[in-house]
Structure 1
Amino acid sequence: MRIYEVADYQEMSRCAANLISAQVLLNPRSVLGLATGSTPVGIYSQLIEWYRKGDLSFAEVQTVNLDEYHGLAPDHPQSYRNFMQQNLFDHIDILPQQTHVPNGLAKDAAKECARYEALIASLGGIDLQLLGLGHNGHIGFNEPAAAFAKETHLVELTESTIEANTRFFESRESMPRQAFTMGIKTILGAKKILLAVSGKEKAEAVYRSFAGPVEPGVPCSILQFHPDVTLVGDAPALSKLKAAGVRICRK
């Protein structure tokens, strides 16, 4: 595992985007696993800038997203499909049919989960998976639990996640209570994993994920078992790891 400390969110975004662009330049037909939320916005903005400068093309890239709210149409303002269109896809040369997000309106959840797993397999798996980190250690919508969820599944959102995401909706009542998410086994199947974190409020989750035991109560801790993980974080987010003496490189 490689851990890089950067100065701030802007530098974290640039560093993570650089690793993604290197993946695409080395393999223009890469399959990228993508994340949503506040953390990757700066990363996507940087990738768009490099695309507009002519430094990068996504014409042959395939993407698969981590998750999607159950019950939201693709064009709903708070759907993750809409998030990806607004923050990345509409601004680069990727082909629409090569961008994949779980179908939030699927009536048969089990069938949709099986379809998404089969899709990822048909693409040859994920070459690089981008992840953010929740305050409780969740990745995707894999919440703390008694056991690690394996493959793509429909999850009941925890109260802490609902509380954290309600600000994006008109009211608490209008926020979905379920979401489709890749499972831990699916995420670990990626050849490379890139975890981006920023802010002091993530310091405890980072510490528990990489300086504590591997346990389903801290879903991100499972990444300790992956052979190729890169963590890019700003100084506040990595503060507890540094205090514990974990080896960190300055980027």
Structure 2
Amino acid sequence: MLGLATGSTPLSTYAALAKSIREDRIDVSRVKGFALDEYLGVPPHHPESYRSVITREVVEPLGLNPDHVFTPRGTGSGITRAGEEYEALIAEAGGVDIQILGIGSNGHVGFNEPGSSLASSTRIKALAEQTRKDNARFFNSPEEVPTHCITQGLGTILRARQLVLLAFGANKAQAVAAALEGPVSSTIPGSVIQQHARATVIIDEEAAAALAHSDYYRHARQSAMDLMQ
């Protein structure tokens, strides 16, 4: 089961997966997917709802069964129970095997903004102004960006069997360095990946620019590759 992030960061990963599925004729009929988050108050048919985004960027390119791919419920009655419903849905499916993550310029993962509990579960959250500014490019105007969301919690994310964090570009460098080399803290929600036994980080040179120990990471990676030969 896949945990699915949205935004521009994972697009190249999804494109590579789609290519492998086509070329290697991989059967994905039983693959299930769970999105990290959804905007609150945005109907599923809205082009910028994460239901629509996941359909365009993941379900259709990878050829997944849309009935097997889920997003948190951001509309409807009893919305305060939507987090508990989503947690139960993930548990019923057996839990996430691989959770794909991005990281925001302020260190958020999912929509867990700075100050989020490290043990949090799926719940409604207010979006930080920086996050709304970063996401304004997907809307016609900054005013259209929702102010709230429903997101998997940091505790939910940590229950995935494996984490894959992706980050590309200079604007992510400080957040990457704080998440990987700073203290585990709610100030940088992405730092929770340090607590996971199976976390893989894939970044480019620009996103790695602020890392203090980048030379060692390159050495360790090359050593691992040499041992596999």
Does the TM-score normalized on the shorter chain lie above 0.5?
yes
Distance change >3 Å, CA 55–CA 238, structure 1 → 2 = farther
1:105 corresponding residue in structure 2? 75
Describe the SS at the equivalent of 2:72: coil
Distance change >3 Å, CA 112–CA 147, structure 1 → 2 = closer
Structure 1 residue 222 corresponds to structure 2 residue 204: no
Distance change >3 Å, CA 243–CA 191, structure 1 → 2 = closer
Once the two structures are TM-superposed, the CA of residue 149 in structure 1 deviates from its matched residue by 5.5
Structure 1 residue 197 corresponds to structure 2 residue 167: yes
Once the two structures are TM-superposed, the CA of residue 193 in structure 1 deviates from its matched residue by 0.3
**Comparing 122-131 with 48-57, which one deviates more in the overlay?**
48-57
1:7 corresponding residue in structure 2? none
Aligned partners of 2:37 and 2:50 also within 8 Å: yes
- Where does 1:107-126 land on structure 2 (aligned, <5 Å)? 107-126=77-96
The counterpart of 1:87, out of the listed 57, 62, 67, is: 57
Q: Distance in 2 between matches of 1:177 and 1:52?
A: 38
Aligned partners of 1:57 and 1:93 also within 8 Å: no
2:34 corresponding residue in structure 1? 64
Structure 1 residue 40 corresponds to structure 2 residue 10: yes
Distance change >3 Å, CA 65–CA 203, structure 1 → 2 = same
Identity fraction in percent: 38
Aligned partners of 1:197 and 1:233 also within 8 Å: yes
Once the two structures are TM-superposed, the CA of residue 199 in structure 1 deviates from its matched residue by 0.8
Q: Distance in 2 between matches of 1:39 and 1:143?
A: 18
Structure 2: unaligned runs, 5 residues or longer: none
Once the two structures are TM-superposed, the CA of residue 106 in structure 1 deviates from its matched residue by 3.1
Q: Distance in 2 between matches of 1:45 and 1:70?
A: 28
Describe the SS at the equivalent of 2:149: strand
Once the two structures are TM-superposed, the CA of residue 90 in structure 1 deviates from its matched residue by 1.6
Q: Which amino acid aligns with 1:219?
A: P
Structure 1 residue 50 corresponds to structure 2 residue 20: yes
Q: Distance in 1 between matches of 2:134 and 2:32?
A: 30
**Comparing 48-57 with 73-82, which one deviates more in the overlay?**
48-57
Q: Which amino acid aligns with 1:72?
A: V
1:165-211 per-residue CA deviation (whole Å, 9 max, x = no partner) reads 11211112211110010001100000100001111111111110111
Q: Which amino acid aligns with 1:236?
A: E
2:210 corresponding residue in structure 1? 240
1:171 corresponding residue in structure 2? 141
Structure 1 residue 138 corresponds to structure 2 residue 108: yes
Once the two structures are TM-superposed, the CA of residue 222 in structure 1 deviates from its matched residue by 1.2
Distance change >3 Å, CA 122–CA 197, structure 1 → 2 = same
2:130 corresponding residue in structure 1? 160
Q: Which amino acid aligns with 1:101?
A: T
Describe the SS at the equivalent of 2:178: helix
Q: Which amino acid aligns with 1:108?
A: G
Describe the SS at the equivalent of 1:84: helix
1:180 corresponding residue in structure 2? 150
Q: Distance in 2 between matches of 1:112 and 1:232?
A: 32
Q: Distance in 1 between matches of 2:133 and 2:40?
A: 17
Distance change >3 Å, CA 115–CA 146, structure 1 → 2 = closer
Once the two structures are TM-superposed, the CA of residue 143 in structure 1 deviates from its matched residue by 0.4
1:27 corresponding residue in structure 2? none
1:14-69 per-residue CA deviation (whole Å, 9 max, x = no partner) reads xxxxxxxxxxxxxxxxx110100000111111112222224423111111010000
Aligned partners of 1:142 and 1:149 also within 8 Å: no
